[in-house]
Structure 1
Amino acid sequence: MKKSLVLLGAVLLSASLAGCGSSGAKEEASKIVVAASPTPHGEVVKHAAEEMKKKGYDVEVKIVNDYKVPNKLLDEGDVDANLFQHIPYLNAEKKTHHYKIEEVGKVFTTPMGVYSKKYKKLDEIPDGAEIFVSSNPAEEGRFLSFFVNEGVIKLKDGVKIEDAKFRDIVENKKNLKFNNKQSAEFLPKTYKNGEGAAVIMNSNYAIDNGIIPHKDAIALEDESSPFANILAVQEGHKNDKKFQDLIKVLQSQDMKEYITKEFGQDVIPYGGGKEK
């Protein structure tokens, strides 16, 4: 009889532990920690978290205001996903750091803009002018695109604008000088101080510093830009159900309407605000 009771107790304990393990695994599967830049990235993820909660997910936003940190966190498994970068930047990071990270899908574009306290149009920028840009090499083609489109700068044949580097310039009609010694977060201050002829910066940094891109920029990217920000995860996981559910919410019509309402022309939702 005692032996039977001991055996029964062991079975019940085993069942109890199995139940705990199942509950823990379920909780782990429903939890998604996303590293994101503050605005608009973090705000967009927070809005998505509300809809994801209805689907049984707990989405947590980890705000990171440093471009070098989110991919490191993701690669090391400290977060489940990130939202802050475009494909050219991710490719550069993978090449440099050998990160095992992949794109799930595009979410929105934070338009790059040219800002100036001295000139009202791009073609007013004079010969030999100094243009302040960030120290991010993955953005060099993006900086150059404004002047390539104006016909001021010409690149080597066959070089795509998203892959272009300063070294690919074969013609610089105005002998423009690009100062890339600052990190992106310092550029709003450089602009406000009126340094150089112009400053090129991303709209998320502009917005964070009280600058209104569609009003203050003398040139601004539109929805044709190839630099859309993406949701990224560790390689081999982009098709995981929880990430597919998340990208659907991030690309939904509700999200497009939220982005347009909150950020107007300064953030372009994937698909240009139209149902895809």
Structure 2
Amino acid sequence: MLKTISSIFFITILSLFFISCTDNQKNKKFELEKNVIKVGATPIPHGEILEFIRPLLKEKGYDLEIKNVTDYVTANIAVDEGELDANFFQHAPYLYEFNKNRKTHLVKTVSVHLEPMGLYSRKIHNIKNLENESIIAIPNDTTNKSRALDLLESIGLLTFKTVSFKTVLDIEKNPKNLFIKELDAAQLPRILSEIDAAVINTNYALSANLNPLKDAIAIESKDSKYANIIAVKRGNEKKDYIKVLNNLLNSKEVKEFIRNKYKGSIVEAF
């Protein structure tokens, strides 16, 4: 009887071992067979950078499928739910805040470039000419809002209480009695002629033919912590196809592409 039980136990353990091996083989086979990498990205400059590495990825055995996105929330949820393998549009502070608020499980893999945020205006060409009670629009998401307010503080328009993420409620001094209008980041270039000024993310500025170095009346320092990153679902950061994507986006070829194409309005962050 004891011998029979031992035999059954041995067979059961052996079966579980083979099932585990088979599952591992299937996972490995899936990874080897995966030849399309789906990445969500805002068109400029993220989509342009991805288009540049498309032939380089092809040489590594991968096709690249780029999904243009204009909504940050949708782009992150699509990665968390597995509809996209990665996305490329955001900085780390935004990602961490998004995970916290949305209960998603996204992680940063690599930093690619920095897009200095700028203050733009159709009405004035010098910050000294900004009149009292002017209307300034800023992004309405938590981290980009705080980042925009950081810029307004750095040029002396506002001062704030010491907080992790700035809001208009944290303003201590507003000598020009400015009105701060919060809007979706993608809308800011479209309403620029209707207000006095707006703090705009560089990807949206470039889409509207606004060059940060030439057109901004104030610009974020290049030592900003807000570099744009590749984000994936936690657990996928060690996948071979993500490693290939990361390596190419941090390559000397991409560094040269960024420098030659954007002429300093965008700078590499690696």
Tell me the TM-score normalized by structure 1. Answer: 0.81
The change in CA–CA distance for 1:140 and 1:21 in structure 2 (over 3 A counts) is: closer
Give yes or no for the alignment of 1:137 onto 2:136: no
Partner of 2:166: 164
Runs of 4+ with deviation above 3 angstroms: 19-25
Residue from 98, 101, 110 that aligns with 2:106:
101
* Deviation readout 1:91-114 (Å, 9 max, x if unpaired): 221122111100001111222111
* Secondary structure, aligned partner of 2:238: coil
* Deviation readout 1:17-55 (Å, 9 max, x if unpaired): xx9998655222x43211111111111112122212222
Take 1:99 and 1:23, find their aligned partners in 2: how far apart are those partners? 27
**Range with bigger deviation, 71-80 or 115-124:** 115-124
**CA apart distance, 1:209:** 1.8
Question: Is 2:115–2:227's contact at 8 Å kept on the other side of the alignment?
Answer: yes
* Deviation readout 1:211-232 (Å, 9 max, x if unpaired): 2222111112242121111100
Take 2:26 and 2:105, find their aligned partners in 1: how far apart are those partners? 32
Could you tell me which runs of 5 or more consecutive residues in structure 2 were left unpaired when the two chains were aligned: 1-24
The change in CA–CA distance for 1:25 and 1:153 in structure 2 (over 3 A counts) is: closer
* Secondary structure, aligned partner of 1:59: strand
Take 1:267 and 1:236, find their aligned partners in 2: how far apart are those partners? 30
Question: Is 1:140–1:166's contact at 8 Å kept on the other side of the alignment?
Answer: no
Residue type of the partner of 2:189? Answer: P
Q: Percent identity?
A: 33
Question: Is 2:139–2:148's contact at 8 Å kept on the other side of the alignment?
Answer: no
Partner of 1:225: 224
* Secondary structure, aligned partner of 2:122: coil
Could you tell me which runs of 5 or more consecutive residues in structure 1 were left unpaired when the two chains were aligned: 1-18, 272-276
Aligned residues: 246
Residue type of the partner of 2:135? Answer: E
The change in CA–CA distance for 1:190 and 1:46 in structure 2 (over 3 A counts) is: same
Question: Is 1:141–1:166's contact at 8 Å kept on the other side of the alignment?
Answer: no
Take 1:105 and 1:211, find their aligned partners in 2: how far apart are those partners? 27
Question: Is 2:141–2:184's contact at 8 Å kept on the other side of the alignment?
Answer: yes
Take 2:220 and 2:155, find their aligned partners in 1: how far apart are those partners? 13
* Deviation readout 1:177-229 (Å, 9 max, x if unpaired): 1101x3222221212x2x22211111211211222222111112242121111
* Deviation readout 1:141-193 (Å, 9 max, x if unpaired): 21112221123322223x35xx323232222222221101x3222221212x2
Take 2:30 and 2:149, find their aligned partners in 1: how far apart are those partners? 50
Take 1:225 and 1:172, find their aligned partners in 2: how far apart are those partners? 24
Take 1:45 and 1:65, find their aligned partners in 2: how far apart are those partners? 16
Take 1:111 and 1:168, find their aligned partners in 2: how far apart are those partners? 23
Tell me the TM-score normalized by structure 2. Answer: 0.83
- Aligned-pair Cα RMSD in Å: 2.2
